[in-house]
Amino acid sequence: MRRQYIMSIGVSVNTFDIEEFGKQSIFTLSFQNQGDVFKGINIGDKILGYVKQPIHKIRYIFEVAEVIEDNKLNLIKKLDIQFGLDKSEFLDIVDVDILEQKCEIIEICQEVYIKIYNKIIYLLQDSIIDIDYLFKLENKSFALEAINIVKNIDGFKEETLRILLDKDECKKIFKNTYPVLKSIPNEAREEDIVKMTKDSSNKNRYYTDIIEINNKKYIVTNNWHYGSTWGDSRTPFVEWIKELINHKQTENIYDQQLSNDGIYAEEIDEYSLDQNRDVTAEKLYLTKKLKHNYLVFGAPGTGKSYDLKKKQESYFTQENSYERVTFYSNYSYAQFVGTYKPKMVNNEINYSYVAGPFIRMLVKAYQNPQQNFLLIIEEINRANPAAVFGDIFQLLDRKDNGVSEYDIETSEDLREYLATQLVSGYRQSRNTMLKNKALEKYRKIRLPENLYIWATMNSADQGVFPMDTAFKRRWEYKYMDINAGEIEGKAFKLGKNKEVEWNILRKAINEILIDVGINEDKLMGPFFIGLKSLESQEVFEEAFKSKVLMYLFEDAAKQYRKKIFKNEKVCRTYSILCEYFDRDGIEIFKEIDNKIDKVKKLDNSTTNSN
C-alpha cells in the first residue's frame, strides 16, 4: 500500500538537482546529518513538498522513484504549483509548526492527503495569477518581463510565436502597430541589429536586447503605451498573458489525469482495484482474444444469452464492470444514450441529463482506463437498431486496438454531462475558461479500447426489425448451432406410457417443422425450455404447454397448424390444443413416433462414428 508524506524543503537540503529522465524530472534529494530520515519510505509513495523560503507554501507533489540511502531519494515531480498552496489553507489538517521548526518529513493518512490535494486542484482551477505589477514598469522592463513570463508559462508554442510575429494579429489583439517580436538572423552583427530596430523613417521601434527562443534570436518592440494619448497597448497584452496562464493551469489539471475524487489516475489502481488481479495482463488478453463488437445469433433456445453470460463471468469480474439492457419495440435513442428528464427536488420540478446504459458504461471506461467494461444488449433487433443507435453506430467502426476509427460530435447536453462526470471540480468551478476547456475536450467522442459491446439477436422471430448492411458490417458474428449444447438424459412420460428425452423430442418436432418448409431460424434450440423446467414431470409439462405449444401455435407454425397436428380441432384455439395435449401427450403431432425413431438412429450413428 502506498503511503503519503509532507516534507519541509529548507536550508539543510544538501542537493535538489534536476536531471532529465525521459519526459519526467528526477530530483535527487538528500539531507545532511539527518540519519535515517527516509527509512520506511518506498517506491511509489507520494510526498507533498513544503517550501519555507521565500514563502511558506506547498509547492510540489513528488512520487518516490528510488530510495538510494536512508537519507537520499530520487523523486519524480508530478506537479509544480508555481505560486503554491498557502499554509493557512491546511493549518487545520497538518501540524505546520513541526515543518517550520526544522526539515522534517511527516507521514499523513490518505484522507489528509486527498483533502490537501483537492485544495491544490481548486487553487489551480479558480485562481488567476496577479501580474498587474507589469503596469508599473517602464517600457523596456515591461517588454522584457512580459516576454519572460510568456516564456516561462508557455514555452513559446508554435501558435504563440506566430501571433507575436504577425503584424495583423498584433494590431488586432494588442492594438500594437508593430509585431511584438521580430526575428533576426543568428549570424547578425551588432550594427545589423541596430538597423533592424528602426522603421522606414529611421525611428527606433525595437530594443537591441537579444531574446533567444528555441535556438533562434528575436528582438522585442518598444511600442508600448499606457494611459496616454497614443492609446493603450499594454492592457490587451497583459490580458492576453493572463489567458495563457489560465490555459496553462487548465492543462496542468488535465495532464495529471485526475479522477473524480481528486486522486491521481495511477492511485486509483491501488485504492480501488484488487491488488491480486493482473489488470494489465487481463486487458492485453481481452484485446487479443475477445471481440469488441460481438453479436450472437441463432434460433430460439440455442443459448445465446448463456454464451455471453459465461464469457462475461470469465473476463469481466470486477464489480460494476458490465451492464445488461434488453431492447424492445418502443426502445429509443434517448433511453439508450441519454436525455433530459424531470426530477422532483425540494418540491420543485427540475430537469437534468439522465444517462442511458451506453453513456453510463462509456463514462466508466473513460474513468478507469486500466479496467475493461462490457455492455450487453439482449434482443438487439426487437427495437429498430438504426434508430436506437443513431449517430452512435459510427463509433462501432473500430481500429485493431479497439478504439473507434471515427469520432462523432456530441450534443451540448451530453457534452455538459460528460464534463460533469469526468472532470474533477467542474460543477463547482467558477473558472469559465476551465469549463470551456472541459466542454471542448468532450466535443467529440470515440469508443475506448476498454469498452466492449456484445449483443444477442433472433433473426426470424416475431416483432423483430431488419438490420441494414451498414449496421451489420460493424459487428463480428457467432452463429449458435441449433443442436449446440444439447441436454441429454432428461426423459419424461408424455402420453400412452411413453417416455422420451427432451432433446430427442425437440429434434423430432424440428424435423416435422423442416418437412413443412419452416426455416432453421424458427426451430427450437436445446435451451428453449430452461434447465429448471426439466427438474420434474409436472414442471416440464407446464413449460411444454406454455412455451413449446404456445410458440408453435402463435409463431413458428401459425400458418402450418393443420400440417403438424393430427386433429384439425386443435388448430382452432390454443386452449383446445392444451386439452388434447393433457389427454394424448405428444401424440397430438403428426408422425411423431417416426420422427423420434429417425432422430435416435441419427444420434446413434453419429455416436458410433465418433
Amino acid 281: pLDDT: 38
351 pLDDT above the threshold of 50: yes
The overall average pLDDT reported for the chain is: 79
pLDDT surpasses 50 at 461 = yes
Considering only CA atoms, which of 283, 482, 250 is closest in space to residue 370? 283
In angstroms, rounded to a whole number, what is the distance separating the alpha carbons of residues 426 and 432?
10
In the prediction, which pLDDT does 82 show? 57
Asked if residue 240 has pLDDT above 80, the reply is yes
Which helix (H) or strand (E) segment is 16 a member of? strand 13-21
Section 98-113 average pLDDT: 73
Give φ, ψ of 110 to 5 degrees.
-60, -40
Rounded mean pLDDT, 182-200: 92
pLDDT-above-70 percentage for the chain: 77
Please report the pLDDT score of residue 225 as a whole number: 81
What mean pLDDT do residues 436-454 have? 89
Instruction: Answer whether residue 335 shows pLDDT above 90.
Output: yes
Q: Would you say residue 355 has pLDDT above 90?
A: yes
Q: Over 80: is that where the pLDDT of 336 sits? A: yes
564: cell is: 403438424
What is the pLDDT, as a whole number, of residue 213?
86
- 405 CB contacts (<8 Å, ≥6 apart)? 397, 398, 399
Diameter over CA atoms, the chain = 119
Q: Which of 27-41, 211-225, 388-402, 568-582 has the lowest mean pLDDT?
A: 27-41
Confidence class for position 130, pLDDT limits 50, 70, 90: low
What does the pLDDT average to over 109-132? Answer: 66
The domain segmentation of the chain, as residue ranges, is 4-126, 132-255, 275-407+446-472, 491-609
Most confident of 221-230, 316-325, 425-434: 316-325
Cα dist from 580 to 464, 506, 537, 592, whole Å? 31, 19, 18, 15
Does residue 358 carry a pLDDT above 90?
A: yes
Query: Which phi and psi angles does 352 have, rounded to 5°?
Result: -145, 160
Query: Half-sphere exposure (CA, 13 Å, Cβ side) for 473?
Result: 5
In the chain, what are the helix, strand and coil shares in percent, each to the nearest 5?
A: 45, 25, 35
Structure confidence by residue, pLDDT tens digits, 556-575? 888 889 999 988 888 889 99
Q: Residue 370 above 90 pLDDT?
A: no
| pLDDT at residue 374 is higher than 90 | yes
Q: Which CATH class is domain 275-407+446-472?
A: alpha beta
pLDDT for position 260: 32
Condensed to tens digits (0 to 9), the pLDDT of residues 259-313 reads: 333 333 333 233 222 333 333 434 444 444 688 999 998 888 888 888 899 888 8
In our burial notation (b when 16+ CB lie closer than 10 A, e otherwise), range 483-500 reads eeebeeebbbebbeeeeb
Q: Taking the complete model, does pTM exceed 0.85, yes or no?
A: no
Measured distance CA(422)–CA(442) in Å, rounded: 10
What is 4-126's CATH topology? Answer: ph1033 like fold (3.10.590)
Mean pLDDT lowest among 198-207, 342-351, 543-552: 342-351
CA angle 352, 358, 362 (to 5 degrees): 95
Most trustworthy range by pLDDT among 20-29, 100-109, 347-356: 347-356
With bands split at pLDDT 50, 70 and 90, how would you rate the model's confidence at 196? very high
Model confidence pLDDT, tens digit, residues 154-180: 678 888 899 999 999 999 888 888 999
Which DSSP symbol is given to 135?
Answer: G
- Minimum mean pLDDT among 134-138, 147-151, 228-232: which range? 228-232
Residue 219: the pLDDT is 95
- The top-scoring range by mean pLDDT among 40-49, 70-79, 381-390, 436-445 is 381-390
Among residues 13, 28, 8, the alpha carbon closest in space to that of 106 is found at 8
